Amino acid sequence: MTMKVDDPRTYQPPRDLLQDRVILVTGAGAGIGRAAAKSFAEHGATVILLGRTVRKLESIYDEILEAGGPQPGIVPMDLAKALAPEYLELKDSLDKEYGRLDGLLHNASILGERSPIEQQDIAVWHDVLHVNLTAPFVLTQVLFPLLRDSGDASIVFTSSGVGRRGRAFWGAYAVSKFGTEGLSQVIADETSEAGIIRSNCINPGKTRTGMRRAAYPAEDPGTLLTPEEIMGPYLYLMGADSRGVTGQSLDCQ
Ligand code: NDP
């Protein structure tokens, strides 16, 4: 049964919202991805923790088990470097272990450099576009069969305010987030008829993480919401209450 939700920001999910759902989170080692992985597990999901720093993934793995959550999976993968065999291996191992994928949170991103277009380093531009946009595209494409096998799958992309309106000095990062919004809409349109896969974006808004600190070093972190405080829309989009919601871009703040 689905519940009408007026404002996903204040969504109060039932404790068992994500019971028996298998959800992959990229960039699960820190910041918003870490909070999302833990929150999904608290609500019953088996989370697959994908990230480039194994030590961080292992510590979240331990925290989830200590809190009594379902046993997570760990996927060490650097999205800046991964090639086809790694993606295919991931797909095969998820297929073997779970036989489907119910949720895919594209959260990992890099900031690149804050500078005017005239001075953007071309190699950094490539890296940012690759990690923030091309890798989520490849990951989604490879995992499509498993998402279809779910029968009720949710793909969530992570956007940003600068992915909706360009702003000076946000260069490749802003462009990657515009691309993210576009990719999500294209997938939503391609899957809307079948109704078994939904695709949406979330804009977290300014949130107390390492990336925010790197972008605004002089800012008082105490003035920002923590990742744990913005989980409403994430849980809403991953659970059954958002069935039929697709092609949207939600704000957390
Ligand atoms: P953080 O930098 O704190 O965390 C990003 C995570 O992504 C880290 O776990 C990092 O791994 C991982 N990651 C980065 N590069 C790679 C890679 N090549 N391969 C695998 N994993 C990688 O960022 P936030 O938590 O702040 O951001 C999460 C998402 O929210 C991003 O998409 C960001 O653009 C978006 N966002 C954030 C806002 C904010 O105010 N914080 C505002 C608007 C959007 P590791 O820990 O190993 O470095």
Provide the percentage of residues in the chain whose pLDDT is more than 90.
96
List active site positions: 173
Q: Helix (H, G, I), strand (E, B), or coil: what is residue 153?
A: strand
Q: What is the per-residue pLDDT for 5? A: 84
CA angle 1, 249, 80 (to 5 degrees): 110
CATH hierarchy code of domain 15-251: 3.40.50.720
User: Can you give the residue ranges of every domain in the chain?
Assistant: 15-251
What value does the mean pLDDT take over residues 126-144? 98
Q: Is 180 in the pocket of ligand 1 (CB under 6 A)?
A: no
Q: What is the pLDDT of residues 33-58, one digit of tens each?
A: 999 999 999 999 999 999 999 999 99
Structural tokens at position 248: 């949207």
Q: Quick check: 4 pLDDT over 90? A: no
For 85, other C-beta atoms within 10 Å of its C-beta total 8
Residue with tokens 């759902």: 21
Q: How far apart are CA 57 and CA 157, in angstroms?
A: 20
Q: What is the pLDDT of residues 142-179, one digit of tens each?
A: 999 999 999 999 999 999 999 999 999 999 999 999 99
SS (H, E, C) 75-133: EECCCCCCCHHHHHHHHHHHHHHCCCCCEEEECCCCCCCCCCHHHCCHHHHHHHHHHHH
Residue 163 amino acid letter: G
What value does the mean pLDDT take over residues 117-140? 98
Counting atoms of ligand 1 from 1, which one is nearest the CA of 28? Answer: 9
Nearest CA to 27 among 229, 176, 177, 209?
A: 209
Q: Is 140 in the pocket of ligand 1 (CB under 6 A)?
A: no
Q: What is the per-residue pLDDT for 226? A: 98
Q: Is 251 exposed, middle or buried (0-12, 13-18, 19+ CB in 10 A)?
A: middle
Nearest CA to 173 among 118, 241, 127, 240?
A: 127
End-to-end CA distance of the chain: 27
Q: Quick check: 1 pLDDT over 60? A: no
What value does the mean pLDDT take over residues 194-203? 95
Q: What is the per-residue pLDDT for 2? A: 62
Which one of 32, 54, 167, 253 would you pick to mutate in the ligand 1 pocket, going by the greatest count of ligand atoms within 8 A of its CB? 32
**Could you tell me the strand order of the sheet in which 153-158 lies?**
73-76, 46-51, 22-26, 103-106, 153-158, 197-203, 249-251
Q: Is 31 in the pocket of ligand 1 (CB under 6 A)?
A: yes
Q: What is the per-residue pLDDT for 134? A: 98
The rounded Å distance from CA 193 to ligand 1 centre is: 32
Q: How far apart are CA 205 and CA 251, in angstroms?
A: 7
Structural tokens at position 216: 């605004």
Nearest CA to ligand 1 atom 37: 204
For 223, other C-beta atoms within 10 Å of its C-beta total 8
Q: What is the per-residue pLDDT for 180? A: 98
Q: What is the pLDDT of residues 176-194, one digit of tens each?
A: 999 999 999 999 999 988 8
Counting atoms of ligand 1 from 1, which one is nearest the CA of 29? Answer: 9
Q: Is 206 in the pocket of ligand 1 (CB under 6 A)?
A: yes
The rounded Å distance from CA 67 to ligand 1 centre is: 24
Q: Is 240 in the pocket of ligand 1 (CB under 6 A)?
A: no
Q: Is 205 exposed, middle or buried (0-12, 13-18, 19+ CB in 10 A)?
A: middle
Q: Quick check: 3 pLDDT over 80? A: no
What value does the mean pLDDT take over residues 128-134? 98
